[in-house]
């Protein structure tokens, strides 16, 4: 029996990331950037107002808000037009408003000393203006504005290149492109960007007992659950998924279906009865496409599984059990890391934390357990607590409803047969719901 670690090493050694491609930035979200995006122009490209208000020379409103002296007769205002002047009261500066500038204005506006221009956020700054007085510090006047608070040079102005200078790296290679990166790429004029694309993954179900969900099962037939569940798991991991559906067990037909997917995929997942004679038939049918091996892996559920590299490009190909829970757990442990590596993720594995058990947990000695659980947190201590799902301590491996309720996998070492209440155990987060 092969250890989980040895089998996973064999799987991850087969990881091959698709070649980087250049895509529109609207299609790049969630993908890893494959180039250093260097800016050619400053951002912003011109001095612009950072708030709605009045563009001024800071020196012209320096007295605004400053307490007036007691001896007003001897006070020299330096040419400033002060209104409602009273001793020891904050001074108010009045300036004529000589224009208005909106975002996108192309005609330059020139400001003379002791004048103001009404500006909106994002509007180009008038010539000679070096600050903006926010609207809330004024009376909002149209022909004249009364300013009750002074500003320093540069206040409320976005200068040329404040965000990005020419030669700066806007988005680095290896960065995951999120909404902020998409916005930055647009801001610096990059319509397309080189990314590591999603690996293409095909899911095939095999089994004469299977029918698609748009048909009514006959005697001895069941719905094809696995191709839908595994396709969803692959999308969650970040793959570009092709759900092939049900393939016939006929050797030549099965080979044709698999071979067709090897041409279009970086990963192929086949699910169905793979133990005993049924598994041998699958291996025989695909033998001339490459080496495919069915082994027992020291884990539960999902101990029997297959892996190999098929086709001219040696595409990683998985054989997973027909049991939906075993198939999903095997996918989580073995296939998901391969997808994440192909995406270029530095941390391909799920986040693992320590938690305390709030009930007994039984496992199979000699096999690493991946048991469905519910993770919670103690409000007072902040400690993570976990309980296993299922009527029995280990849960039943076939209960898909329990897996749907799980928010974590409880990882039990292969040398542990039972955990008691309060024991510490490793827990892997599953995707959040809600």
Sequence spans of domains, the chain: 4-18+198-343, 21-43+162-196, 48-158, 352-429
Q: Please report which confidence band the pLDDT of residue 247 belongs to, taking 50, 70 and 90 as the band edges.
A: confident
Strand-pairing partners, residue 53, are 119, 134
- Summarize the confidence of residues 236-262 as an average pLDDT: 90
Q: What is the mean pLDDT of residues 374-382?
A: 88
Closest CA to 310 of 280, 277, 285, 276: 285
| Residue range 192-214: mean pLDDT, rounded | 91
Q: φ, ψ for residue 279 (rounded to 5)?
A: -65, -40
Q: How confident is the model at residue 393 (pLDDT cuts 50, 70, 90)?
A: very low
User: Which pLDDT belongs to residue 409?
Assistant: 93
Q: What is residue 394's predicted lDDT score, i.e. its pLDDT?
A: 46
pLDDT digits (tens, 9 = 90+) for 72-92: 877 888 888 988 888 889 999
More confident residue, 343 or 404: 343
* pLDDT value at 71 more than 90: no
Write down the pTM of the prediction. Answer: 0.73
Average pLDDT over residues 27-42: 88
161-175: pLDDT as tens digits: 888 788 888 899 888
Does residue 280 surpass a pLDDT of 60?
yes
- The SS3 of residue 3 is coil
Taking only the tens place, the pLDDT of each residue in 118-134 is 999 999 999 999 999 99
Q: Which of 134, 108, 138, 130 is nearest to 119 (CA)?
A: 134
155 — pLDDT class (breaks 50, 70, 90): very high
Give CA–CA dist 429/407, Å, rounded.
6
DSSP 8-state assignment for residue 45: S
Stretch 181-196: mean pLDDT, rounded? 90
Is there a contact between 261 and 244 (Cβ–Cβ < 8 Å)? Answer: yes
Q: What is the CATH number of domain 352-429?
A: 2.40.340.10
SS3 345: coil
Confidence check: pLDDT of 432 > 70: no
Distances (CA, A) of 282 to 49, 206, 247, 409: 69, 9, 11, 30
Confidence of residue 229 (pLDDT cuts 50, 70, 90): very high
Query: d(Cα 70, Cα 189) in Å, to the nearest integer?
Result: 57
> How would residue 209 be classed by pLDDT, with cut points 50, 70 and 90?
confident
Between 8 and 392, the more confident residue is 8
CATH code for the domain defined by 48-158: 2.170.190.11
Q: Find which of 16-20, 156-160, 269-273 is predicted with most confidence, using mean pLDDT.
A: 156-160
* Beta-sheet pairing, 116-119 with 92-101: parallel
Q: How far apart are CA 40 and CA 301, in angstroms?
A: 55
pLDDT score recorded for residue 208: 83
Question: In 10 A of CB 401, how many CB atoms?
Answer: 8
Neighbours of 426 (CB within 10 A): 15
Higher pLDDT among residues 398 and 37, named by residue = 37
Check whether 395 has a pLDDT greater than 60.
no
Q: Looking at the domain that runs over 4-18+198-343, which CATH code has it been given?
A: 3.40.980.10
Whether omega before 301 lies within 30 degrees of 0, making that bond cis, reads: yes
Determine the Cα–Cα distance for residues 300 and 366; give it in Å rounded to an integer. 10
CA distance 104 to 124: 8
Which of 80-89, 149-158, 379-388, 400-409 shows the lowest mean pLDDT across its residues?
Answer: 400-409
Grade residue 401 by pLDDT with cuts at 50, 70 and 90: low
Hey, is 275 helix, strand or coil?
coil
Q: What is the rounded CA–CA span in Å between residue 117 and residue 133?
A: 10
The contacts of residue 329 (CB under 8 Å, 6+ apart) are: 299, 301, 302, 370, 403, 409
Answer yes or no: are the C-beta atoms of 36 and 169 closer than 8 Å.
Answer: yes
Q: Looking at 8-12, 269-273, 361-365, 396-400, which range is the least confident one?
A: 396-400
Please, where are the H alpha helices in 193-250?
A: 226-237
The pLDDT, as a whole number, for residue 403 is 64
The CATH label, of 2.40.110.10, 1.10.287.80, 3.30.70.20, 3.90.105.10, for the domain at 21-43+162-196 is 3.90.105.10
Predicted confidence (pLDDT) at residue 193 exceeds the cutoff of 90: yes
Bigger pLDDT: 343 vs 318: 318
pLDDT, averaged across the chain: 89
């Amino acid at each position: 029996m092969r250890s989980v670690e040895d089998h996973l090493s064999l799987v991850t050694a087969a990881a091959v990331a698709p070649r980087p491609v250049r895509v529109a930035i609207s299609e790049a979200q969630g993908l890893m950037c494959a180039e250093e995006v260097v800016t050619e122009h400053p951002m912003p490209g011109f001095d612009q107002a950072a708030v709605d208000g009045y563009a001024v020379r800071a020196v012209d409103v320096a007295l605004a808000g400053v307490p007036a002296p007691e001896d007003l007769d001897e006070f020299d205002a330096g040419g400033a037009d002060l209104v409602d002047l009273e001793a020891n009261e904050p001074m108010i500066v009045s300036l004529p408003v000589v224009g208005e500038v909106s975002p996108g204005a192309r005609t330059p506006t020139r400001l003379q000393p002791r004048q103001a221009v009404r500006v909106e956020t994002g509007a180009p700054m008038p010539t000679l203006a070096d600050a903006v007085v926010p609207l809330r510090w004024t009376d909002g006047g149209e022909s004249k504005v009364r300013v009750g608070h002074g500003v320093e040079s540069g206040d409320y102005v976005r200068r040329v290149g404040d965000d990005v200078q020419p030669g700066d790296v806007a988005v680095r290679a290896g960065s995951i492109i999120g909404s902020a990166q998409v916005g930055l790429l647009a801001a610096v004029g990059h319509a397309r960007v080189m990314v590591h694309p999603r690996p293409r993954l095909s899911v095939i179900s095999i089994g004469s007992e299977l029918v698609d969900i748009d048909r009514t099962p006959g005697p001895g037939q069941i719905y094809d659950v696995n191709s839908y569940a595994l396709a969803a798991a692959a999308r969650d991991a970040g793959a570009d998924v092709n759900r092939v559906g049900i393939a016939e067990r006929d050797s030549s037909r099965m080979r044709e279906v698999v071979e067709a997917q090897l041409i279009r995929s970086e990963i192929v997942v086949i699910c169905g009865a793979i133990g005993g004679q049924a598994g041998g038939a699958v291996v025989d049918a695909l033998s001339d496409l490459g080496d495919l091996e069915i082994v027992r892996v020291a884990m539960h559920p999902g101990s029997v599984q297959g892996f190999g590299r098929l086709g001219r490009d040696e595409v990683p190909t998985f054989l997973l059990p027909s049991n939906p829970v075993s198939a999903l757990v095997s996918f989580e442990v073995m296939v998901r890391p391969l997808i994440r590596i192909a995406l270029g993720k530095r941390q391909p594995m799920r986040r693992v934390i320590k938690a305390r058990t709030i009930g007994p947990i039984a496992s199979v000695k000699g096999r690493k357990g991946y048991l469905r659980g519910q993770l919670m947190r103690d409000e007072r201590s902040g400690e993570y607590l976990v309980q296993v799902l299922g009527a029995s301590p280990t849960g039943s491996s076939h209960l898909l409803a329990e897996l749907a309720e799980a928010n974590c996998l409880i990882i039990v070492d292969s040398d542990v047969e039972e955990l008691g209440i309060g024991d510490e155990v490793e827990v892997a987060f599953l995707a959040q719901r809600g």
